[in-house]
A and B are shown apart, each in its own frame.
Chain A
Amino acid sequence: MDAQTPLFPSAYELNAPAGAEGWEELYPYYLTFQPGLRDKEDGKFWFCDSQHWPNPFKPFDAVTVEFAVKCLGQYNTRHYLVPPANGVDYRIHNGYCYMSPIAVAPELIEDRIPQFMERAGHYFQNWPSLLENWHEKVRANINEMEALEFEKLPEVVPTEWITGGIGLDNTTHLTEAYDRAIQLLYRTWQYHFEFLNLGYAAYLDLFGFMKEQFPSIPDQAIAKMVQGHDSDLFRPDDELKKLARLAIELGVADALKAGLVDEALAAVGTLPHGEKWLGAWEEAKNPWFNYTTGNGFYSTDKYWIEHLDIPMGYLRDYIARAEAGETIERPTARLHAERDRITGEYQEMMDPEAQEVFQGKLGLARVVYPYVEDHNFYIEHWSMGVFWKKMRALSKLLHEEGFWPTEDGMFYLTRNEVRDVLFDYGNAWATGGEWIGPSYWPAEIERRRGIIDALSTQPPQPALNNPPEIITEPFTIMLWGITSDSIKNWTGGDSSSGDLTGMAASPGVVEGLARVIRSPDQLDEIQDGEILVAPVTAPSWAPVFGKIQATVTDIGGMMSHAAIVCREYGLPAVTGTGNGSSRIETGQKLRVDGNTGQVTILD
């Protein structure tokens, strides 16, 4: 490579695949690489965040990256003034999302420190009470979102509105409800980052201290010191396990084993203790079935509460395993003991002064770290689940009114185009004329669908342009697991050998057959003892973690969801292999070494 050639391509030379021409118009202007800014944009390093957004965005779904990354930035830049780091700039290119962290100019860092100390300090010092407040805000937000209703416009304004002197029509509520939903989503993502960056910062401090004490300490050992094991993130899975045990105890397990969900539940209802079990099932549903097999960022994500066949499938699996005498519960007591042992043994190897410092840093990390795990349930699962449910209801309403031929049509519009459609809908209703949408959107949506489908045929580039010599941006390292070494892996991988290298995310070595999973819909293909290979996994895949031996992912760092869940379930994991899911085929024999990050294809 000569000095003139960048390590990764420029966005301006990465053409869209055939059939995807014109994709830029599906996204707001500020989300695409503008031709006039080439010099500036090519001067920055952009990495693809396929960890959160592995598939090309439908226009509406781009709202998730906009709100999430904007809100991430605001806390660094405007709330806490994180000394060295502003937010993360982001663009969509060929349907995928590329990120570029914005550093603070070195001469400005010093001045931000007192502000950070005051602002972040307030959060660290008042963490429990502020977090309690956070839970109240988030629940209120969810409740308000849940209460939003989208109703078809009636033939006439209700009589009571006339006699009550309301003076408004039904379109008012419809458009306000839509705007409110978007605003509530916006709040959701602000709340998401209120604590997250600080949680990572405290962890990073502990992490750096441990690395300095023990330069060769595995990252996963430090992660294990703070892991909670009773996180709300694991509650949905734990609830199913409890329901499985209860079903066996109450003698209703056989009734649950076959048929559609409704049939099985009805069969349970006829049994002597059936009502008791059904009561427990209903109680578990709210809120714990607000849980997606996806990651919350896509309108297509399926949530348990709307697809009861998903938790029912897992429940049946747990019943069968419990009846076979297996322990289905997570070994939390063992994990706790292990956490204490690990913490104690490293501490013993420190001198007394360092031990004291360690206690302080560990103490803070353990106070703040549970948020890093817990928030995922409240935001990505519960809040996003309610949001998507409401948006799907609106899309279905407009489909039934003839605006588009399929129920999911609305997601091919940007969020601002949806406002236009709602005006169109109300406008012709008011004038007594005809809606324009039904004659415009079906063909336009079809065209857009073609573009998205074409974009999906081409995987993203891992990065654009040249990386900095050393990655020093703290959040890039912590949230995305991107280090100078991992970038080397992206470019240096010799695809002819049988070896892949990734991050040693959860310890252990196993050999077994690969099962490549590209979508959560394929999860039921997994057989006992297989090694799960996927572009990225979600925490909600937990129910299959009882079946598999190990996990290999293309994307993700030490704190990625796959890594957290694997450590929780005691399975070896290698994350961030770059292209494991394309190079490995289902049925191939693999050796996964979660201690070194090596994955070997044995045949």
Chain B
Amino acid sequence: MTDFALRFEDAACLDHARVGGKCASLSQMTQAGVAVPPGFAVTTEAYLAMLEGTGLRNEIEMQLSRTDFDDVSSLDRSAQAIQIRFRSHHMPSDVEKAIRSQYEAMGRDMPVAVRSSATAEDLPDASFAGQQDTYLWVVGAEDVVEHVRDCWASLFTARAMKYRHDNNLGQIDVLMSVAVQKMVNARAAGVAMTLDPLNGDRTRIVIDASYGLGELVVSGIVTPDNYSVEKVLMEVVDRKISDKQVELIPDAAAATTLERPVDDDRRTAQCLTDAEILAVAELAKRLEKQNGCPQDVEWALDADLPDGENLLALQSRPETVWSQKAKEKPKSAYSTGLAGIVGALNNPIGAKTS
């Protein structure tokens, strides 16, 4: 039964093939001592059990065989049909039991976020993740189970199906895991990259931050504050404070999130203190070191936790744009020794001679 749901603390939860990139990363951070909201992964075995144990696989295959992937309306109809199929089946009972048991262990009626965690290496997470659903502020085992199923179903949006088709990826071989994670009562949240996305400068950590949950930052609905931190000296070297008009906050009563305007006095104020900026930068720097390559980190400051313990890592993944660029070879050989000094004197800003 534990095969279907693994806590982030479990060693088995590091297995990318079983829990997907997001959960493996959360698990790795958890086990390395990084503060991460607690939670668990619904494994790919659970997804497979859903496909096999309910007859869903056959239904999907049948639907796919009738789909014209070059016809938008055919694709749309297929996508809708498959999603309806997902919702028309109960989850296999041992899978549901595993999810309920892990959820209840987190605490009574714990509000959680339910998100997809893709396993396929060749799905470019950055562009694809947004296509799979994220459900915030989910409360109660019933709803959690339902939203896990919805996450699975989200593999079959028209756009995702088209993408897999065009890239010769199997439609049904792409397995999905789902992360169930304690909801963060974010006072402020955002993204940190351990290089400057504008120019690939690795001496910088660049942070986007705004009030409330980070979704509005990630989706681009608010223009966040933008801070640049010198990575080695750990000093804030640049800050652009923007007008942050709205924030997404948890609405405990309605068990959902609420988008609301930010009060006038906070809108144009810096949303993190300098100490908080540096704490976020330290977190990102640590994650870069642990993972051995530049990272793109989602983080949040939890209003319910005391200062010093309130900074949480929500996600860390390798930065893709600059890291995949071929490293530019120096235009000419470095000059060393006295020749270097002559070069430096002749051209005091650059020390290379051709």
Contact = CB atoms under 8 A, between A and B. Distances in A.
Nearest to B203: A214
Contacts of A214: 201-203
B127 to A, nearest CB: 28
Contacts of B274: 509
B342 interface: yes
Given A221-B232, A349-B203, A509-B236, A120 B349 contact: no
Interface in A207-237: 207-209, 211-212, 214-218, 220-221
Most chain A CB inside 10 Å of its own CB: which residue of B203, B238, B327? B203
Q: Give the interface centre of B196, B202, B327, B347 by most chain A CB atoms within 10 Å.
A: B202
B334 interface: yes
A208 B349 contact: yes
Nearest to B331: A212
A209 B335 CA distance: 10
Lowest 3 CB-CB distances: which A-B pairs, in order?
A208-B351, A205-B344, A595-B235
Interface of A: 82-85, 109, 113, 116-117, 120-121, 124, 201-202, 204-205, 207-209, 211-212, 214-218, 220-221, 341-342, 345-346, 349, 351, 353-354, 357, 360-361, 364, 472-474, 477-478, 507-509, 594-596
Contact of B338 (A121, A209, A346): A121
A474 B274 CA distance: 36
B204 interface: yes
Given A214-B201, A351-B327, A595 B236 contact: yes
A361 B351 CA distance: 11
How many of chain B's residues touch chain A, expressed as a range?
20 to 34
Given A216-B230, A221-B233, 14 more contacts: A83-B346, A117-B342, A120-B341, A204-B344, A207-B344, A208-B350, A209-B334, A212-B352, A218-B237, A221-B232, A509-B236, A509-B274, A594-B235, A596-B237
B345 interface: yes
Nearest to A341: B232
Contacts of A361: 336, 340, 351
B348 A472 contact: yes
Contact of A209 (B230, B337, B340, B346): B340
Contacts of A120: 338, 341
A401 B14 CA distance: 93
B344 A212 contact: no
Interface of B: 196, 201-204, 230-233, 235-238, 274, 327, 330, 334, 336-352
Which has the most chain A C-beta neighbours within 10 Å: B204, B231, B274, B344?
A: B344
| Interface-centre pick from B196, B336, B345, B352 (highest chain A CB count, 10 A) | B345
Contact of B345 (A83, A342, A346): A83
Contact of B233 (A113, A116, A218, A596): A218
Nearest to A209: B351
Nearest to B229: A595
A263 to B, nearest CB: 47
Contacts of A218: 230, 233, 235, 237
Contacts of A202: 341
B145 to A, nearest CB: 46
Contacts of B201: 214-216
A342 B233 contact: yes
Given A342-B233, A509-B274, A117 B338 contact: yes
Contacts of B350: 208, 211-212
